[in-house]
């Protein structure tokens, strides 16, 4: 049993408190980005940041950022944190562990009267999940000046634009430029997160050290056919968009599984059918594609195969196709100096911390284009995530938070 410097009970209590905001079941949470529930959670977390001795603010992008000054206030800061928005059918730990753990690390500094050598910032980034407006990492990309044209005009399923939601949340689209970070403002980003996979559990290890993040490719695909009466149009004369889409969906499964030893994954997670009637041949189908791999050349080859499959299905069924690329990132590897520091901290804690890749992307993915980054994973039961059954034990979360604290302490001593 480890002796924790951090306050494990406080971490657990805060995670439980956030789980009450947007609660949909005994363990389920729905706290969509820029929703009233999201704002309520931000207000609560902001108070915890201030309790930990930080000056906290909500920027124009909806990010919540707390800061304590260091002995050298002009030095590039160390930023830690994650996000607190959730999927619509979510658990209590994804993102939240990283924010609460980061606040706890800073609060432990305060309670032990430790003044860091450089400023420390804690970020609860806005809309990491991307499920509401179908494009994630909004807050962190905004902070880094990486937003794309038209992002504020994206709509959710109720027709609400991101611009409208951001304004209602308290963000300020006209103030984006003032909230952007300048190059070199942050020197290191470190994120604590649940694994969202089964590797650590299979190795019986409470924490792991992330070596890199797989590169995600996200598409929105529209296939257009022609509507007709389901009872009168002969099968050979139909232009059925859903039949064409179904062949692509099944084909993606085969393409992503073609090399069993590879960590490639492919998913269609959202599907819309128009006119969505029992006795009308589907005229328009829209679906999402999520293709990920740690090997960019392999992913590129599989992307080419998938495009060929889509063209083939369209030609076979007389369909018109539009493909919109929502996200395209290469794999990003963690900085060696940060990996070494986390390794040293884990060794001194006498805790086994195997090294592994991350399939899911995180706020770290965007930060990797701006500064050196590292990640610490916490074991989660059966690898379940984006599901109310998502679970990480109090002891494992405390171990991850302690490792974050000890790593941060070493970084400050180095700086």
386 is in an annotated binding site: yes
For the record, the structure tokens of 162 come out as 């991101």
Question: Is 229 known to sit in a ligand binding site?
Answer: no
* Mean confidence (pLDDT) of the chain: 96
Write the pLDDT tens digit of every residue in 339-379: 999 999 999 999 999 999 998 889 999 999 999 999 999 99
Is the pLDDT at 218 greater than 50? The verdict is yes
Look at residue 161 and tell me whether its pLDDT is greater than 70: yes
- CATH 3.40.630.10 occupies which residues in the chain? 8-214+331-414
Phi, psi of 406 (to 5 degrees): -65, -35
Lowest mean pLDDT among 93-102, 287-296, 309-318: 287-296
Cα–Cα distance, 404 to 3 (Å, whole number): 15
Query: Does 129 appear as a known binding residue?
Result: yes
pLDDT tens digits, one per residue of 86-142: 999 999 999 999 999 999 999 999 999 999 999 999 999 999 999 999 889 999 999
Which residues in the chain are classed under CATH 3.30.70.360? 215-328
Q: Would the annotation count 284 as a binding residue?
A: no
pLDDT range class, residue 414, cuts 50, 70, 90: low
Q: Is the pLDDT of residue 205 over 80?
A: yes
Calpha distance 34→87 (Å, rounded):
12
Backbone φ and ψ for 85, nearest 5 degrees, come out as: -75, 160
Q: Provide the pLDDT confidence category of residue 415 given band limits of 50, 70 and 90.
A: very low
169 to 59, 149, 165, 257, 283: CA distances (angstroms)? 11, 21, 6, 41, 37
- Domain 215-328, CATH number (from 1.10.3720.10, 3.30.160.70, 3.30.70.2390, 3.30.70.360): 3.30.70.360
140-149, 150-159, 277-286, 354-363, range with the lowest pLDDT? 354-363
- CATH domain 8-214+331-414 topology: Aminopeptidase (3.40.630)
The residue assigned the tokens 């790593």 is 407
Residue 324 reports pLDDT greater than 60: yes
Does the pLDDT at position 385 exceed 70? yes
The structure's pTM equals 0.84
User: What is the predicted pLDDT for the residue at 247?
Assistant: 98
């Amino acid at each position: 049993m480890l002796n924790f410097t951090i306050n494990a009970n406080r971490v657990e209590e805060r995670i439980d408190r956030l789980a009450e905001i947007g609660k949909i079941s005994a363990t389920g949470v729905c706290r969509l980005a820029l929703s009233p529930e999201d704002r309520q959670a931000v207000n609560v977390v902001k108070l915890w940041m201030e309790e930990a001795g930080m000056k906290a603010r909500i920027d124009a992008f909806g990010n919540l950022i707390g800061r304590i000054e260091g002995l050298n206030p002009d030095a590039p800061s160390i930023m830690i944190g994650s996000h607190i928005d959730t999927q619509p059918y979510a658990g209590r730990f994804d993102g939240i562990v990283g924010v609460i753990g980061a606040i706890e690390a800073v609060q432990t500094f305060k309670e032990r009267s430790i003044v860091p050598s450089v400023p420390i910032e804690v970020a609860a980034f806005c809309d990491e999940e991307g499920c509401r407006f179908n494009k994630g990492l909004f807050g962190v990309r905004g902070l880094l000046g990486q937003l794309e044209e038209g992002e504020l005009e994206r709509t959710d399923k109720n027709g609400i634009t991101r611009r409208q939601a951001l304004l209602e949340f308290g963000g300020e689209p006209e103030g984006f430029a003032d909230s952007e970070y300048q190059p070199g403002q942050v020197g290191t980003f470190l994120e604590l997160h649940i694994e969202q996979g089964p590797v650590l559990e299979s190795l019986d290890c409470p924490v792991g050290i992330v070596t890199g993040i797989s590169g995600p490719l996200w598409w929105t695909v529209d296939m257009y056919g022609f509507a007709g009466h389901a009872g009168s149009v002969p099968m050979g004369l139909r232009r059925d968009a859903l039949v064409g889409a179904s062949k692509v969906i099944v084909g993606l499964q085969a393409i992503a599984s073609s090399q069993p030893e590879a960590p490639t994954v492919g998913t269609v997670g959202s599907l819309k059918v128009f006119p969505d009637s029992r006795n009308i041949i589907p005229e328009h189908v829209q679906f999402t594609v999520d293709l990920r791999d740690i090997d960019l050349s392999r992913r590129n080859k599989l992307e080419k195969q998938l495009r060929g499959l889509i063209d083939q299905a369209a030609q076979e069924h007389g369909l018109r196709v539009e493909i919109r690329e929502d996200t395209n990132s290469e794999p990003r590897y963690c900085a060696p100096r940060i990996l070494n520091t986390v390794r040293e901290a884990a060794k001194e804690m006498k805790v086994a911390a195997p090294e592994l890749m991350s399939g899911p992307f995180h706020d770290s993915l965007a930060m990797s284009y701006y500064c050196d980054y590292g990640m610490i994973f916490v074991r989660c039961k059966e690898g379940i995530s984006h599901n109310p059954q998502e679970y990480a034990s109090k002891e494992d979360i405390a171990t991850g938070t302690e490792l974050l604290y000890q790593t941060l302490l070493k970084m400050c001593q180095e700086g």
